[in-house]
Structure formats: structure tokens, C-alpha cells
Amino acid sequence: MSCPFHQTAELNPALQSLDWLLGKWQSDEPGEGSFSNIPHFRYTEALCFSQVGQPVINFMFNACDADTKKPMHKECGFIRLQPGTNRVAFIIAQNSGLVEIEEGEITGQQVNLQSQALARPSFAKEPHVKEVTRVFQLRPDGKLEQTVSMATETQPLMQHLHITYQRAP
């Protein structure tokens, strides 16, 4: 996956607290996914976090089945920071039709997010997602780790995805 946004622009000072996230990332081994109403699955994923000098980060996530390489899931959106704070918002559109606003805080090289708003087409598959939490953490070994938890109309909040990435060359 190529990053479609130019990385040559000078980093906007508002993004300094997230400069560790910028770049291309590729899962170093398959991630694990599960939820109460779907079978366990393994997936690979490529991430791109880029900026063009504005006080916003652009991102794209592309996931594929680890065995068949068939495309599974895609997310894209923007990351905005509240000026002068460690508050952050992810604005996310998914190919499943789910649109999210997740907000949280940056602590060092970790971002903890909680859904604030969820929207979907009127004909979206049930049960509908009601809550999402997400954690990105840059580990001491230089790998990026992501954990996503989810709740639906019929299931309480539980871990849905876990994966680690290494920086792509």
C-alpha cells in the first residue's frame, strides 16, 4: 500500500505529540480477531499515517485475510488534536458503512480512544455496533500495537482485534 499523501511537508507543530505515529506500518505477524457472533479469524494489515503540513493527520488502514490474502476491511479518516492539550479525535469511515468519531488522550507514545458518535446506513447489518474503544501504543521494541474492543446491541464491550506492526521500509 502506498501512502497517497505527500510526506515532504514540514510537520505542523500541532502534530508534534503524534510524530511517532507517522509513516507506513505493516503487520509483522497476523493479528487476531474474534467476537461472540463471528468465528475467530487472522488478518494482516497495512497502515499509513501521513500529513501535508496542516494540523491534521490523514490515515488509511487496509486489512486482508492472513491465509487467502482476500481484502477484508478498510478504514480511512483524519486525526485532529485539540490545540494546547493532549486531547485527540479520530474521524473514521469504514467500508462496512460504520462512521465513527473516537476521542481520547495521548500519553507519551500511547493513544487511548473511546467512541463518541457512531452512524451507519439505515440498512446496516445487525446487530449494530454501539461502542468502540481503541488503543495504539508504540512499544519499546519499536513496534506499534493496536487493540480494538467493541460492543453491539446484543453483546457487552469485549476485545475484538489485536495486532502489532513494524515500520515499513
Mean pLDDT by 10 residues, the chain (169 residues): 61 95 97 93 98 96 98 97 96 97 98 98 94 98 98 96 96
1 found inside a domain: no
CA distance 116 to 102: 5
Domain that holds residue 102: 13-167
Q: What is the pLDDT of residue 169?
A: 85
CA distance 99 to 96: 9
86 found inside a domain: yes
7 found inside a domain: no
Q: Three-class SS of residue 42?
A: strand
Grid cell for residue 16: 508534534
Total domain count, the chain: 1
2 found inside a domain: no
3 found inside a domain: no
Q: Residue 132's domain is classified under what CATH number?
A: 2.40.128.20
Q: What is the pLDDT of residue 1?
A: 47
77 found inside a domain: yes
Longest alpha-carbon distance in the chain = 46
5 found inside a domain: no
Q: What is the pLDDT of residue 37?
A: 82
161 found inside a domain: yes
